[in-house]
Structures are given as structure tokens and as C-alpha cells.
Amino acid sequence: MTQFTTFQWIAVFALISAIVNGSGILAIIYREELAKKYKTYLMCFAAGILISTSLTLALPRALEANQNAGYIALIGFLFMFFSNKSIKHVTKQKELAFGVTAAEGVGIHSFVDGITYTITFNVSVLIGFLAGTGLVIHEFAEGVITYLFLIKGGVSKRNAGIYAFLIAGLTTPLGAFVVYPIVGNLNQSTLGLLLGFVSGVLIYVSAAHLLPEAQEKDKKHSNLAFIIGVLLALFIVLTKIL
């Protein structure tokens, strides 16, 4: 696996994320009950991987590169927190405004996911692989959620599927490829700060976004899916198989 270049790793994960996102959209269109059933488990599993990767690998590595990375991680967390608050505030409007604005929020989030791939793989294949795995898995649920947002906003099923993929699927590779030329030329200290920001984003996405949304449904064995995600990430980190 190590013969891959950094760009190839980023490209593979960014494109897979778009494919998985599209799969979630197709599943909710053609297999609605099945998609809704497994969405919760995937979100919990992804949350377990992301929170473990952030706290045991990404943030410590960021602090090694730059001692101020912890402050930047806090900024990353707060950025996501207040972005989410702003989106929720705006979506108190009527149905169409809800669907469009909520989908816009997902688009921004997906774009940040792409940036996350680029930053993490530039720091380490191990960090990129783990963070990327968690993000790719949650793309299925994100495709489902974006489609449902648009349907709730009164968009037709056909257009909702197309718009959901454009908003939530293609924005991830777009984010990855847009920032790659910039990130590739940064020194380790600056990368440490960026990794700190990404760590804060990942902590928010896992602990304050994926888990609460999954726990609303509180399906049987959802906690087990979360623990499996945690244990898998810890196993890979501790054995350093990459």
C-alpha cells in the first residue's frame, strides 16, 4: 500500500466517498426501509472510528508538530459548532428554505471532508487512512440525509437525487483537489496547525453530529456498532499495520 503517492491516496478516498454517497442516495430512492435501517449503524460505526482517530492519533501528532495545535483544534470544534447552530437557526423557516439551507450546510461539511483527506494524508498515511475510512463510511448516511432534506423541502424525487449527489457527493473530491496544491507546499509546523483544526472538526463530527443523530433512532445494537468502530481504530493505531 505504501507505494501509493500522497495524491493517489487522496484521490482514491475522495472518489470512493463520492461513490458511497451516491450509493446512499440510490438506496434511499429504491430501498428506503433498508437504507434507513442501516444508516444508524453506519453512523455509529463511523463515529467510533473518527473519535478514536482524533484523540489517539491525529491530535497528538498535531501537537508534536506544533505545540499550539490544541488551540487550533478548539477553533475547529467551535467553527463546526457555530456553523451548525447558524444552519439550524436559518432552517426554522418554511419547508423549501429548510431543505435548501440544510442541504447547503451538508455541502459545506462535505467540502471540509475533502480538505480533511488532503491534510491528513499529507501528514501520515495512517492518519489519512483511518480518518478517511470513518469519513467514507458516514458518506452513505450523508447521502440519505441530504436526499431526505430536499424531499422535505418539496423538491421532486428525481431532482432531489441529482442535487443531493452534486451537493454532498461531488463537493468532497472538489475540496480535496482544490486545496492539494496549497497543502503540499506547507512545512510540518503549519501542517500541525491544520491537523489540529481537522482534529477539532472530526471530534465535532463524531461526538456532536453523528452520535446524537444516530441515538435519536436508538436502534438495537447501535452502541455495539460504535464500540466496534472504536476498537477497530485502536487496533490499527496500536499495531501500526500501515
Q: What is the pLDDT of residues 87-115, one digit of tens each?
A: 666 656 545 555 555 566 677 778 888 88
Confirm if 183 and 119 have CB atoms less than 8 A apart. yes
pLDDT band at 1 (very low <50, low <70, confident <90, very high): very low
- Angle 157-164/6-30 helices, nearest 10 degrees? 170
Quote the cell numbers at residue 59: 491530535
CA angle 201, 204, 210 (to 5 degrees): 120
Residue 184: what residue type? G
Can you tell me the distance from the alpha carbon of 204 to that of 209, in angstroms, rounded to the nearest whole number?
6
Reported as half-sphere exposure (CB side, CA atoms, 13 A), residue 222 has a value of 20
CA-based nearest residue to 80, from 170, 194, 209: 209
What is each CA distance from 100 to 44, 96, 110, 141, in whole angstroms? 26, 6, 15, 18
- Give pTM, 2 decimals: 0.73
Secondary structure letter of residue 93 according to DSSP: S
Which contiguous run of DSSP H or E holds residue 9?
helix 6-30
Q: What is the pLDDT of residues 47-93, one digit of tens each?
A: 888 888 889 888 998 999 999 999 999 998 998 888 777 766 665 65
Q: What is the pLDDT of residues 117-176, one digit of tens each?
A: 999 998 888 889 888 888 888 888 788 878 887 887 677 888 889 988 998 899 999 999
Indicate the length of the chain as a whole number: 242
